[in-house]
Amino acid sequence: MFVPPGTYSTAGSGTGDDYCIVAPAIPHDPASGIPPLAPKPVPRDARCPVCGMYPARFERWAAQIIYTDGASHFFDSPVNLHVFLADMSRYTTAYTEADIRASYVTDLSSGSWLQASAAWYVLGSNALGPMRDGNLPAFATRESALAFAQEQGGKVIVADDVTLDSLRTPIPSARHHQHPR
């Protein structure tokens, strides 16, 4: 179902839970025993605020932001985390950049959370991310990122090098919507 910008879906449209207008932040659950600013497991029903996908389906690619109140936004990939950070007001009115207390990405090698600012990323590899196109895999060490880049192609960069312009550059694996005739 296509809903043009500036219009809203009507109740009972039959879209079920596959349609997401705004993905809200998930409140911190004090009963979880997890400290408010620590990385949290991705809830099964969490939606990426950028693309609407379910990050729990792609845990090796997942990312998250944690706000002052302990609430979290979850992302299906480091790309969408960085897209969100570049234009937060487009995706949330509840929080601003000043409200962010932590951001994490998943180390593609181990599946462990690491601070997004400390990660090594591989830009332009042949690895297909959750949306089945080029992505930005994250790694805990430079050595892991270099080994991945040697196998899958791409350039190893740090978080400060990730910009919207760098994410717009052609990625070899981005074959989205190219169907044979």
Select from 79, 74, 91 the least CA-distant residue to 132: 79
Torsion sign (Cα): 118, 122, 123, 127: negative
CA-to-CA distance for 78 and 20, rounded, in angstroms?
A: 20
- Looking from the CA of 57 toward its CB, the CA atoms found within 13 Å total 11
Q: DSSP characters for the chain?
A: ----TT--PPTT-S-GGG--S--PPBPP-GGG---TTS--PPPTT---TTT---GGGGGGG-EEEEETTS-EEEESSHHHHHHHHHTHHHH-SS--GGGEEEEEEEBTTT--EEEGGG-EEEES-S-B-TTSSB---EESSHHHHHHHHHHH--EEEEGGG--HHHHHS--TT--TT----
pLDDT digits (tens, 9 = 90+) for 145-172: 999 999 999 999 999 999 888 887 645 5
pLDDT of residue 21: 65
Indicate the burial class of 124 (C-beta count within 10 angstroms; 0-12, 13-18, 19 or more). buried
Alpha-carbon distances of 127 from 33, 69, 108, rounded to whole Å:
35, 35, 11
pTM, to two decimals: 0.81
pLDDT digits (tens, 9 = 90+) for 10-62: 544 555 555 556 789 999 999 999 999 999 999 999 999 999 999 999 999 99
pLDDT digits (tens, 9 = 90+) for 88-121: 999 999 999 999 999 999 999 999 999 999 999 9
Tokens for 92, please give them.
């949330």
